[in-house]
Amino acid sequence: MLQREKPVLDVAFDVHPDPDEFIRAAMEWHFSPTTGSPFWLERAKSLEFDPREHVRSFEDLTLFPNVTNELRDVRAQDLIPQGYGPHPEVVGVFESGGTTGAPKRVVMLRDWWDRMMAWQVAHLHAHGVPRDRNWLVLIPSGPHMAGELTRRQAAELGGLKFAIDMDPRWVKKLIAAGKADEANAYAEHLIDQAVFVLQTQDIGVLMSTPPLLERLARRDDLVELVRQKVQTIEWGGAHMDADSRHLYRTEVFPGLTLDGNYGSTMVLGGAAERLDLTDDDPCIFDPFSPYITFSVVDPDSGRKVAYGERGQVVMNHVSKAFLLPNNLERDVATRIRPLGGQVGDSVADVTPVQRFDDETVIEGVY
Amino acid sequence: MAVAAELPALDALGPAGAYHARERQTITDVAGNPLAELSLVPSLFVTRAMAALHKAATMPVDERLAALARAGDAHAMGSVDGVSPADHQFIVSRCSGMPISVVRSASEAIARSAAQAYLSVQHARPVGAVNHWRDPLTRTGRAVWTRRGDVFAVHAPGNHPGVHGLWLEALALGYRVAVRPSRRDPFTPHRLISALRTAGFGDDQVVLLPTGYDTADAILRGADLAMAYGGEDVMRKYATQTKMLPQGPGRSKILLTADVDWRDHLDVIVASITHEGGRACVNTTAVFVEGDTTPVAQALAERLAAIPSLPPQDEHAVLPVLPMADAHELERYLLAKAAGTVPWLGGDGVVDELGDGSAVLRPAVHELDRPDAEQAGIELSFPCVWVAPWTPEAGLEPLKETLVITAITHDTRLVDALVAEPTISNVYVGDHPTYWIEPGIPHDGYLADFLMRTKAVIRD
């Protein structure tokens, strides 16, 4: 039986619980011997503080060490809070991209999945994503969250999802080995498959990553098909700068809606692009607060940078289903003032820092 | 930000005209003062620009040659985008730290290259090949000289504005050209491409694509053929790619054999080291001496020590200037590498601060004790020379991997060997500086060797 002793953890997606009350309830849930996960109960023994006593607000989440790397080895069942009872409803086990070594794993539980989905669908409606249109999705499938997420999104909006299989780890391996030609061939293989779906099916929504969108934009035949059929392009998984967004909207796919997503497996979801941005605004992402929260910090001092300044993104996931606080990601972003009612920061221009030269070259005249 | 907003904008020059990007980089002078805001285009812009170049038609040869000549004139002597040559040269000098007299000569050299581009490329055409299939000679069968592709890309360096004279040959041959500028001198290619457009080249014939590092390769990928400048790393990266022409280290050298008196050639040796600010790949990196190296090193040190430290915009400036931090980094590198050699000049350091955040790099002379000392191959971007002993027994080995060698010798068998050596690009015999070049003379082979091929044609 699902224990329902913490109603503040069970509110509807569009209700904003009081942040401090929410945090205290979550700490109580995750660190109580009867409801907490085996992973956190064991981990709590080596913490230098008592989360139930000392973590009273979102600011206090910084007391936690970053345990993200431990998710590479932990037994997945041990991540499930015992409060869900002996037969928790699991949507899936999802893995990180695997950029650096072994993948990290999270367990997606039904109640969180439904809440996040409700929030996302509301967002898609707000952005004018059409109903009853089919989706063509070129993003990582397999053990990655994105594939399952888009399947559900398409269904919620009344469409079918057509998928192209994509293995991001293989691409990263090829690039790391300097096999640019093979990585290129793989990406072209993905685009080739999109042709068949776009030619034969009624596709209204295209979901992909900015690098694949750019590849697609190089092919005149595909650009023409997208212009004829697609109304909304959903993108995520990589950075899109304001210049590129403007080029897509005005030159490549005039009249189409572009809607960005910034997600991470480690927060079991992510952030959605803010509505009504101007052409000159960067792509701003607002997280699904208070469950998913960001702060943009100076990695050396750990302090928040000023609004408008660049810093590294710290992510927190706090929900009934999962706890992963104080996770310093490798992403660099601009800190943006949040909208009313949101806990933590919004972010923009999530990217590695733009570099003009690779490094200082000393020898030689060039 | 208020200050930055007033800076002159250096837009990208795309296939549909100038493009002012939201992503910009502030270009500073050697003292760190902002000079301009350079638009950085995203990868999507690059791929679309390269596609537009592929779609564009080639201009008729007469028109492009006339436009090239007009553009060269305007670049060196006219007003381009409202900027006079003097103002342009001042900014290039302040930005790159190159002595202004060198910048001015480079402008003139670019104008000469533009005017003579056709003549220059014709030197590379095989004697058996004609320029067009309509040539009457093809009626009985003939080779026709044709392009290997249509779109040529250049990753330009910022060490010397004169490098932009070379890719004009690609335009002369009918290529569409994309240039990625260096942040150390985006001004020269911007002005030159603006001038080319005013002179008649369409926006889809020649583009300037400033990009961040991560996007730079997209320009090369989008081209049929490309040229990139760099050190050993760039050479290695592109060594196996047939569509790439990497332009690597020069490591130019002077060889003085025992049958000549080096004192008669001191002017040429000093000039070979210091001309072009000591920053070109054709500047002498090592002097090999058959006989006693010490008096040569001593004489060079004396002459080079007398050169004054001046800001780059000074008419009398000879030495290059860098931002202070970069200068000190270069100095640390030199001092570490020079360990174990005999310093005649610059042994205590080469940085002479100008007090405004920039610093002159003063000449360095080090004496080596073996022909095969590794230092002789260390090329630095200021007048820095290694004086090494050479013997006939040491032979060609220490003289290999060289862009230009000036051999001051009467030994014609040695000259035979130098000319035959595949890793030596140019051989100048006698009293000729290593930086000597003229239109029609190959710099590192003819560029047209790379851009063109022959094709058999016979017709009724």
Determine the angle formed by the axes of helices B61-77 and B187-198, rounding to 10 degrees. 130
pLDDT in tens, A291-340: 999 999 998 898 999 999 999 999 999 999 999 999 998 889 999 999 98
- How distant, in Å, are the alpha carbons of A27, B62, B88, B206 from that of B69? 76, 11, 19, 15
Q: Are B156 and B30 contained in the same domain? A: yes
Cα–Cα distance measured from residue B211 to residue B208, given in angstroms and rounded to the nearest whole number = 10
**Res A96: pLDDT:** 87
Q: Which of A95-99, A289-293, B172-176, B351-355 has the lowest mean pLDDT?
A: A95-99
pLDDT in tens, B348-397: 999 999 999 999 999 999 999 999 999 999 999 999 999 999 999 999 99
pLDDT at A356 over 70: no
Which of residues 112 through 151 in chain B touch A, CB cutoff 8 A? none
Average pLDDT of the segment spanning A63-76: 96
Sequence-distant (≥ 6) Cβ neighbours of residue A117 within 8 angstroms: A149, A152, A153, A156
CA nearest to A202, candidates A229, A240, A172: A229
Q: Is residue B449 part of a domain?
A: no
Q: Are B307 and B244 contained in the same domain? A: no
Q: Is some CB atom of chain A closer than 8 A to the CB atom of B21?
A: yes
Q: Are B75 and B204 contained in the same domain? A: yes
* Number of neighbours of residue B201 by Cβ within 10 angstroms: 22
Q: Which of A10-19, A28-37, A190-199 has the lowest mean pLDDT?
A: A10-19
**Res A100: pLDDT:** 62
What's the total number of domains in chain B? Answer: 2
> Considering chain B, what percentage of its residues have pLDDT values greater than 90?
92
Task: Say which of A242, A362, A366 has its CB closest to residue B157.
Answer: A366
The answer to whether A359 and B234 have CB atoms below 8 angstroms apart is no
Q: Are B345 and B411 contained in the same domain? A: yes
Q: Is residue B444 part of a domain?
A: no
Q: Are B183 and B259 contained in the same domain? A: no
User: Looking at chain B, which residue has its C-alpha nearest residue A240?
Assistant: B42
Q: Is residue B309 part of a domain?
A: yes
Angle at B293 between CA B289 and CA B294, to 5 degrees: 160
The answer to whether A310 and A304 have CB atoms below 8 angstroms apart is no
**Res A361: pLDDT:** 57
Write the ipTM: 0.83
CATH of the domain at B17: 3.40.605.10
Q: Is residue B448 part of a domain?
A: no
Sequence-distant (≥ 6) Cβ neighbours of residue B62 within 8 angstroms: none
End-to-end alpha carbon distance in chain A: 69
**Res B37: pLDDT:** 97
pLDDT at A357 over 60: no
pLDDT at A355 over 60: no
The helices-and-strands tally (H runs, E runs) of chain A is 10, 13
Sequence-distant (≥ 6) Cβ neighbours of residue B202 within 8 angstroms: B56, B59
**Res A226: pLDDT:** 97
Q: Are B295 and B243 contained in the same domain? A: no
Q: Is residue B386 part of a domain?
A: yes
Q: For B351-438, where are the E strands, in sequence order? A: 351-353, 358-361, 364-367, 384-389, 402-408, 424-429
- Amino acid identity at A169: R
Q: Is some CB atom of chain A closer than 8 A to the CB atom of B294?
A: no
H helix or E strand, kind and range, residue A351: strand A346-351
pLDDT at A360 over 60: no
Which of helix, strand or coil describes residue B19? Answer: strand
Q: Is residue B100 part of a domain?
A: yes
| Residue A236 backbone dihedrals phi, psi, to 5 degrees | -175, 180
Q: Are B131 and B49 contained in the same domain? A: yes
Q: For B259-376, where are the E strands, in sequence order? A: 284-289, 321-323, 342-345, 351-353, 358-361, 364-367
Q: Is some CB atom of chain A closer than 8 A to the CB atom of B156?
A: no
The answer to whether B15 and B50 have CB atoms below 8 angstroms apart is no
Q: In what order do the strands lie in the sheet with A284-287?
A: A161-163, A134-138, A203-208, A232-236, A257-264, A269-273, A284-287, A346-351, A323-336, A310-318, A292-297
Cα–Cα distance measured from residue B394 to residue B288, given in angstroms and rounded to the nearest whole number = 11
Q: Residue A8 burial by CB count (10 A; 0-12/13-18/19+): exposed, middle or buried? A: middle
Q: In the structure encoding, which two tokens stand for residue A285, read together?
A: 């992402």
Task: Note whether A354 contacts B40, CB cutoff 8 Å.
Answer: yes
pLDDT at B237 over 90: no
Residue B339 belongs to domain spanning: 252-429
Average pLDDT of the segment spanning A53-70: 96
Task: Say which of A214, A356, A365 has its CB closest to residue B44.
Answer: A214
User: How many CA atoms does the CB half-sphere of A124 hold within 13 Å?
Assistant: 28
Average pLDDT of the segment spanning A59-82: 96
Average pLDDT of the segment spanning B99-116: 97
CA nearest to B110, candidates B182, B190, B167: B167
Q: Are B239 and B262 contained in the same domain? A: no
Task: Note whether A365 contacts B249, CB cutoff 8 Å.
Answer: yes
CATH of the domain at B384: 3.40.309.10
- Strand partners of residue B182: none
Angle at A260 between CA A256 and CA A262, to 5 degrees: 170
- Amino acid identity at A237: G
Name the one residue in this structure whose structure tokens are 């060889």: B255
Task: Work out the pLDDT band at B2, boundaries 50, 70, 90.
Answer: very low
pLDDT in tens, A11-24: 888 899 999 999 99
Whole-number average pLDDT of chain B: 95
- Amino acid identity at B152: F
Cα–Cα distance measured from residue B172 to residue B167, given in angstroms and rounded to the nearest whole number = 9
**Res A69: pLDDT:** 92
Cα–Cα distance measured from residue A254 to residue A233, given in angstroms and rounded to the nearest whole number = 12
Q: In the structure encoding, which two tokens stand for residue A65, read together?
A: 């060490």
Q: Spell out which residues of chain B touch residue A183, defining contact as CB-CB under 8 Å.
A: none
Q: Are B272 and B340 contained in the same domain? A: yes
Domain boundary among B248, B275, B293: B248
Cα–Cα distance measured from residue A228 to residue B139, given in angstroms and rounded to the nearest whole number = 51
Q: Are B356 and B215 contained in the same domain? A: no
pLDDT at B457 over 90: yes
Average pLDDT of the segment spanning A142-168: 93
Task: Work out the pLDDT band at A359, boundaries 50, 70, 90.
Answer: very low
Q: Spell out which residues of chain B touch residue A280, defining contact as CB-CB under 8 Å.
A: 22
**Res A352: pLDDT:** 59
Most A CBs within 10 Å, among B11, B24, B40, B44, to test the A interface: B44
Q: Is some CB atom of chain B closer than 8 A to the CB atom of A195?
A: no
> Distance, in angstroms, between A284 CA and closest chain B CA?
15
Task: Work out the pLDDT band at A1, boundaries 50, 70, 90.
Answer: very low
Which of residues 387 through 416 in chain B touch A, CB cutoff 8 A? none
The answer to whether B15 and B204 have CB atoms below 8 angstroms apart is yes
pLDDT in tens, B46-60: 999 999 999 999 999
Q: Is residue B401 part of a domain?
A: yes
Q: Are B232 and B281 contained in the same domain? A: no
In our burial notation (b when 16+ CB lie closer than 10 A, e otherwise), range B362-380 reads: bbbbbbbeebebebbbbbb
pLDDT at A46 over 80: yes
Task: Work out the pLDDT band at B20, boundaries 50, 70, 90.
Answer: very high
Which of residues 252 through 271 in chain A touch B, CB cutoff 8 A? 252
Cis omega (within 30 of 0) on the bond before B392? no
Q: Is residue B353 part of a domain?
A: yes
**Res A289: pLDDT:** 95
> Cα Rg for chain A, rounded, in angstroms?
21
- Amino acid identity at A303: R
Q: Are B234 and B327 contained in the same domain? A: no
Average pLDDT of the segment spanning B206-212: 96
> What is the pairing mode between strands A346-351 and A284-287?
antiparallel
pLDDT at A175 over 90: no
The helices-and-strands tally (H runs, E runs) of chain B is 15, 23
Most B CBs within 10 Å, among A208, A349, A354, A366, to test the B interface: A366
